[in-house]
Amino acid sequence: MDDCLAALMREFSEEPYARIFGIEIIELEAGHATLKMKTSEKMNNLFGATHGAAIFSLVDATFELTVNSHGTVAVALSVDMNYLNAPLPGECLQAEGREVNRSRRISACHISVTGEDARPIATCQCLAYRKKDRLPFL
C-alpha cells in the first residue's frame, strides 16, 4: 500500500490541472486525503471573491486522491457541493476527504473545506465508481 500511495503522490504532484491552482497534498492514506490551496486574485469571480469553481477544483482533487488511494481506478459518479462561506482574499484553504463507505464497486466520500481559522467554506458528498483496473502508473 505504501508503494501505491507514494506513486499516487508522485503522479499528482505532476498533474497539470492541480498545478494551475497550486493544490498540494498535506496527507494521503488509504481512504483519506487532506490537500491545501492558497487562493489568489487569479481565482476571483466578477464580485472579487474566490470563484466556486476554484473551490470545487480543490474538492475534486481531494476526491480523486481519496477514492484512488486503494490502487484501483475510481471515477466520479456524482458530486453534491454546498458552499457555506466565502474564503478571505489570499487565504489558504484545506480540504479533507474521507471514505464513509466502500464496496467492491462504489465509494462514498465526505469532503469538507475549511479556512485558516477552521471556519467551514464548503462541504461535499461524492460517489465514485470503482473499476477493476489498477492505476496505470503502478
Q: Tens of pLDDT along the chain (138 residues)? A: 799 999 999 999 999 999 999 999 999 999 999 999 999 999 999 999 999 999 999 999 999 999 999 999 999 999 999 999 999 999 999 999 999 999 999 999 999 999 999 999 999 999 999 999 999 999
CA angle 122, 100, 137 (to 5 degrees): 90
Please tell me the distance from the alpha carbon of residue 75 to that of residue 10, in angstroms, as a whole number. 19
pLDDT in the model for residue 72 = 96
pLDDT in the model for residue 108 = 98
Domains in the chain, CATH or no CATH each: 2-134 (3.10.129.10)
Helix 2-13 to helix 52-68 angle (10° resolution) is 150
pLDDT in the model for residue 1 = 73
Please tell me the distance from the alpha carbon of residue 118 to that of residue 13, in angstroms, as a whole number. 25
CA 68 to mean position of chain CA atoms: 11
All three cell numbers of 47, joined, read 464580485
All three cell numbers of 7, joined, read 506513486
| E strand intervals along 4-71 | 24-29, 32-38
